[in-house]
Amino acid sequence: MEKIRGFEIAKGFEDKNINLPRRKTKYSAGYDVEAAEDTVIPSFKKGMKPTLVKTGLKAYMKENEYLMLANRSSNPGKKGLILSNSVGIIDKDYYNNPDNDGHFMFAFYNVKDEDIEIKKGECIGQAIFMPFLIVDNDDAQGNRMGGFGSTSK
């Protein structure tokens, strides 16, 4: 079977009982993504970096697609969790990159007064495969050489 788009377990997580994302209903756009391990997300303080919640997953897709990472609609109200980048974008060439094998994570801030604990296996967000378009005379030729935050390097 030809691989078109989907999820795989990232290197280093093969023996961690990671569940591949699934849609819960036939009209759901997003695949529910779970936390790969217990993670504490501290209450926000000025100047702090977001907490990266590991998924243990990587994603493959067609050349004209990307994977959008979106927050669960209940996270801000119930847990005070917001995505630090509002929406995560996973490019096709992030898959199998040499730095981290394409392992994608969710970057959260916690706006509650108390720390929030995410348990392994808890749904933390959604992953949605999306097509994209390019402009006339696009001349992008670069090749990704690394993982998180490496596009402009």
CATH of the domain at 79: 2.70.40.10
* Beta strand 123-131 pairing with 51-60: unpaired
Question: Residue 141: what pLDDT?
Answer: 81
Q: Is residue 34 in some structural domain?
A: yes
**Could you give the angle at the alpha carbon of 47 between the alpha carbons of 46 and 53, nearest 5°?**
100
Q: Tell me how long the chain is.
A: 153
Q: How many CB atoms lie within 10 A of CB 113?
A: 8
Q: Could you tell me the residue range of the domain that residue 122 belongs to?
A: 6-20+28-131
The reported pLDDT for the residue numbered 85 is 94
Domain membership of residue 136 (yes or no) is no
Structure tokens at 85: 């980048």
Question: What's the CA gap between 1 and 145, in Å, rounded?
Answer: 28
Please check whether residue 126 lies inside any domain of the structure.
Answer: yes
Q: What is the domain count for the chain?
A: 1
Q: Report whether pLDDT(78) > 70.
A: yes
Residues with Cβ within 8 Å of residue 79, at least 6 apart in sequence: 110, 112, 116
> How many of the other CB atoms lie within 10 Å of CB of 25?
5
- 150 inside domain: no
Taking residues 18-31, report their average pLDDT. Answer: 97
- Predicted local confidence at residue 143, as pLDDT: 72
For the stretch 94-147, pLDDT in tens is 999 999 999 999 999 999 999 999 999 999 999 999 999 999 999 988 775 655
With 0.85 as the threshold, say if the pTM is over it.
yes
Domain membership of residue 13 (yes or no) is yes
68 belongs to a structural domain: yes
pLDDT number for residue 147: 53
